[in-house]
């Protein structure tokens, strides 16, 4: 799962409007767009972002990502910038209807491969140099392959299914 999260974040596309187009910031502000790109060919990563191999005898697969949502995006100057000390460019809606504060899943933006998930007005971004993007995921939907094996009723039936993971 760490491979997937870091892979998505490392290939997150950041784009802005064309330089040669005259833009009136009052009518059409420049935008910083965060898009998702799912790439199952990226290396598998460990807890500290280092490349790791699946140990012999342990099964693993890369799920086919379909959709994801993000609750929080922060730009940080370095890996050592404390959490929330960077430029927080997006924070999703929260609710406390069940008690403690939690993500409001009814309002989270979702996106698929190549789609923009969050667009931020550049004028709201504090000036600075940012080398790290931190993001908090709230939802993933992906397809996985699995084998059903329940003798004598069924043996080695290959199936696929959709899995949904939510974080609160």
Cα distance between residue 13 and residue 34, in whole Å = 6
pLDDT digits (tens, 9 = 90+) for 29-67: 899 999 999 988 888 888 777 899 999 999 888 889 999
C-alpha distances out from residue 122 to 60, 94, 132, 142, 155, Å: 40, 24, 17, 32, 57
Supply the pLDDT for residue 47.
Answer: 78
Q: What's the confidence (pLDDT) of residue 21? A: 55
Share of the chain above pLDDT 70, in %: 83
In the predicted model, what is the mean pLDDT of the chain? 82
* pLDDT tens digits, 60-101: 888 899 999 999 999 999 989 999 999 999 999 898 888 888
CA distances to 9, 12, 14, 42 from 32, rounded to whole Å, are 15, 12, 6, 25
Q: What's the pTM value of the predicted model, to 2 decimals? A: 0.69
Domain ranges in the chain are 2-140
Q: What integer pLDDT is reported at residue 16 of this predicted model?
A: 35
């Amino acid at each position: 799962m760490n491979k997937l999260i870091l892979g998505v974040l490392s290939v997150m596309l950041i784009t802005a409007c064309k330089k040669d187009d005259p833009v009136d910031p009052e009518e059409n502000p420049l935008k910083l767009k965060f898009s998702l790109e799912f790439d199952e060919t990226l290396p598998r990563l460990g807890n500290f972002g280092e490349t790791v191999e699946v140990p012999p005898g342990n099964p693993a697969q890369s799920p086919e990502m379909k959709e994801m949502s993000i609750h929080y995006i922060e730009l940080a100057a370095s890996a050592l910038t404390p959490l929330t000390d960077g430029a927080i460019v997006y924070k999703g809606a929260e609710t406390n209807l069940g008690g403690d504060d939690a993500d409001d899943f009814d309002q989270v933006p979702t996106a698929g491969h190549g789609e923009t998930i969050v667009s931020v007005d550049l004028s709201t971004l504090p000036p600075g140099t940012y080398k790290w993007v931190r993001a908090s995921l709230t939802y993933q939907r992906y397809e996985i392959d699995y084998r059903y094996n329940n003798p004598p009723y069924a043996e080695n039936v290959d199936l696929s299914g959709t899995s949904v993971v939510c974080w609160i």
